[in-house]
Amino acid sequence: MNLIYLDEYHFINSSILRDDKQILVKVGVVGFIDLAKFKKLYPKSMIIAYEADPDNYYKECSESFKYLDKFINCAVGKNKQIQLNRFTNNVSNSVFPRHKYDPNCVYKDTIFIRSIDIDNVMAENKLDYIDILVLNCEGGELDIMKSLYNENTRNKIGQICVSFHDPRIYPTKEKEKIFNDIGRYYHIIKGTCPKGNVPDYLMIRKV
């Protein structure tokens, strides 16, 4: 196993990447540090990203072409319109009312946006396999992770770098249930974050 940090939060196991055109799909984009590093390491890779908040999406659009093959203004989780709660700190937007608040998290408004599930992400982009799925979507990760109960879906994804947002958005028991339900199918590695924030997890599919 060869772990590579793409930034201070996101990391991958490079030893299981395919040798040909690697596919990375990221859900939740505010900045491109991790994606820029991945593109530098794997210049032939394809990177597809989703951002739910239209304000964040259009703010990032002018830079996206440098790193992304596709950048799509859409939520990922369920096949329906979802409610997105927005806050003055734009990285705090959430599909849930926030479970615990901090001084930088002040409610702004609520909007309704299109959402698709991970199987339709693959269908719409004509993908038969995702090497790396990166989830930093402030609550949306729960629905995406639940889709991995389906064996056909999880067999098409090599590894998942996921930011869980407990207890700030949902109770820790929600994350623990995910681990209990699908942990038998994945090697779960907890990362280290230099800033001391909640680190990401890397989930590597068992084969």
3-state class (DSSP) for residue 108: strand
The DSSP output letter for 204 is E
Nearest to 44, CA basis, from 70, 65, 25, 22: 22
Q: Against a cut of 0.85, is the pTM above it? A: yes
Q: Which pLDDT belongs to residue 195?
A: 66
3-state class (DSSP) for residue 74: coil
| C-alpha to C-alpha distance for 85 and 43, rounded to whole angstroms | 36
| C-alpha to C-alpha distance for 137 and 93, rounded to whole angstroms | 8
Mean pLDDT in the chain? Answer: 92
Average pLDDT over residues 1-14: 92
Average pLDDT over residues 22-35: 94
Task: Determine whether domain 3-77+118-205 maps to CATH 2.60.40.1120.
Answer: no
In Å, how far are 1, 2, 19, 159 from 15, measured between CA atoms? 6, 5, 10, 11
Residue 45 has pLDDT above 90, yes or no: yes
| C-alpha to C-alpha distance for 69 and 169, rounded to whole angstroms | 31
Nearest to 125, CA basis, from 71, 63, 67: 71
Residue 202 has pLDDT above 90, yes or no: yes
Start-end of H helices in 22-168: 33-41, 54-64, 118-124, 141-146, 151-154
**Tell me, what amino acid is at 179?**
F
Residue-wise pLDDT for 76-116, tens only, equals: 999 989 999 999 888 889 998 887 777 778 889 999 999 99
Residue-wise pLDDT for 153-177, tens only, equals: 999 999 999 999 888 889 999 999 9
- Indicate the domain borders of the chain: 3-77+118-205
Among 71-80, 133-142, 176-185, 192-201, the range scoring the smallest mean pLDDT is 192-201
Nearest to 82, CA basis, from 117, 57, 108: 117
